[in-house]
Amino acid sequence: MMRPVSTFESGIRLLIVAALAALAAAPVATPAQQKPAAASRLTSDDQPRITPSNSAGDADPYFKEIYREFFERYRLGPDDEIAIRVVGQPDYTLEKAQVSPFGRVYHPLLGEIDVAGLTTSQLTDRLTESFGQYIRNPTVSVSLLTANSAKIGVLGDVTKPGIIVMTRPMTILDAITASGGVTDLGKQTNVTLLRQIGEGRMQTSTVNVKRILQGKAAAEENPTLKAGDTVIVHGNFKKTLATITQLAGFGYFIHTVATQ
């Protein structure tokens, strides 16, 4: 069953609590200073514009690489928002375009454009070729403004830690499998599920993946994940972090981009 953070007994969980406390103690902008739209906006040109995880993520190479890969490899889908910019062509620049349920965006020059399943880099190349039929040597850029697809994080001793877009319901075992499986340094008997429950609070549960693989676990021992969850496979993971505070920042990041 899920337990509140306040019940953590030891190890990584206590460190997470300390990290969250440190974040909570950081200066907070007044209502006049806060800019909710900017706080929830993501771009492929910049690091995630999300606080308080923003500076934390940039500081730690482990998380910086995960963020970079997320924006480079993220494939566009329905309800995502992008910007299409054509240098020197304001009439053909779209500062905000939402992907339709059919995976398309409308452009006044090109008409309906199929974008679903493409990365921003792939879409940039496609648009550059299309605009080239009307504009000489066009300079085109595509930015991801809002990623609305459900996302989870998988960290620690898995083959490929990072951010997973859920295209179907996934269990903890599904997420670990999608991340390449547990490494030789990872502990299948010690997997933590972190879940934001609002107002800065977090719940945790420990999952014994080894029991699941052996077919000994009940259904509730392999819980279905929700958007914003973070799965952590323990082992050598703590040694990869510059500071444990980065983990709290990553959890906030996943929760924010998954629940906009």
> Per residue in 215-258, pLDDT tens?
998 888 888 888 888 999 988 766 665 555 566 566 666 665 55
**Banded pLDDT at 66 (limits 50, 70, 90):** confident
pLDDT in tens, 160-213: 988 888 767 788 999 999 999 999 888 899 898 988 777 667 788 889 999 999
Packing angle of the helix pair 245-258, 11-25 (nearest 10 deg): 70
| Whole-angstrom distance, CA of residue 230 vs CA of residue 247 | 10
216 backbone dihedrals φ, ψ, rounded to 5°: -100, -10
CATH superfamily of 3-27+149-258: Outer membrane lipoprotein wza domain like (3.10.560.10)
204 backbone dihedrals φ, ψ, rounded to 5°: -140, 150
Q: What is the pTM of this model?
A: 0.52
Say if residues 109 and 89 touch (Cβ distance below 8 Å). no
Q: What was the pLDDT predicted at 196?
A: 78
Q: What residues form DSSP beta bridges with 203?
A: 4, 195
- Alpha-carbon Rg for the chain in angstroms: 20
Domain boundaries, the chain: 3-27+149-258, 81-146
| 184 contact partners, CB below 8 Å, separation of at least 6 | none
Instruction: Supply the CATH classification number for the domain 81-146.
Output: 3.30.1950.10
Among 132, 76, 128, which Cα is nearest to 105's?
76
